[in-house]
Structure 1
């Protein structure tokens, strides 16, 4: 299986035409570039968002061209410190134009079965998937691209189901 880097995955945002959707299923991501801002937030609750600058610029570029960028974060309650930190940072994502909703695991529809062994994924224009792969310590290894139309349509249907069930950021209080 061939994996592309996060930077290569981000290049896909230059090619999609309508919608980019991210399904997040992990309660902790432990991305090395976030370690210092996260530790700082844990000790002071001060928000250092410098690590988000390139992401919010990318989202702003996409949404400024009329595209949607959205995500559902499926979380375990009570939430982890990492999820609390994500929640505190989410207004910055939303200012850039990203629409984020939260779905506590205990509220998942009973019929939900997550594909790809429960890995996170991006779905671009209902046709291209970038499935995230992580190591045993939760560090990002890369993304696997999947262009199979049947798989993409199944993920689009799951996206729609979860999007409807999820709670808009402004209404979710972890």
Structure 2
């Protein structure tokens, strides 16, 4: 688990490089934890995940010290649908990168 200052440092670093993703055509948005709607539950045990073509998930697996162990590919329709619902909910309340000030 990352300490708060480690997390803030990482987010600042990530934010400073996001312009590369924007230039490549991605639409990046930010949602600070304190703005997440109440009652949100996170699928796949709260692990990081990446959704591809609304049909495939890559779920990040990390060790106790935060070391990347790899990704698990999930194609289960119910799990994918749960992640799509969460993405759409959070996307609607997130701030576009150009407007976000960390």
TM-score, with length taken from structure 2: 0.89
Q: What displacement does 1:92 show?
A: 1.2
Residues 138-153 of structure 1: pairs in structure 2 closer than 5 A: 138-153=66-81
Residues 14-29 of structure 1: pairs in structure 2 closer than 5 A: none
| 2: CA distance, partners of 1:115 / 1:154 | 7
Give the structure 2 partner of residue 126 of structure 1. 54
- Conserved? CA contact 1:132–1:142, under 8 Å: yes
Give the structure 1 partner of residue 31 of structure 2. 103
Gaps of 5+ in 2: none
Query: Which of the pair has more CA radius of gyration?
Result: 1
Give the structure 2 partner of residue 94 of structure 1. 22
| 2: CA distance, partners of 1:117 / 1:151 | 11
Give the structure 2 partner of residue 165 of structure 1. 93
| 2: CA distance, partners of 1:101 / 1:166 | 6
SS in structure 2 at match of 1:80: helix
TM-score, with length taken from structure 1: 0.54
| 2: CA distance, partners of 1:92 / 1:127 | 26
Residues 26-37 of structure 1: pairs in structure 2 closer than 5 A: none
Gaps of 5+ in 1: 1-25, 29-75
Give the structure 2 partner of residue 16 of structure 1. none
| 2: CA distance, partners of 1:155 / 1:113 | 10
SS in structure 2 at match of 1:110: coil
SS in structure 1 at match of 2:31: strand
SS in structure 2 at match of 1:114: coil
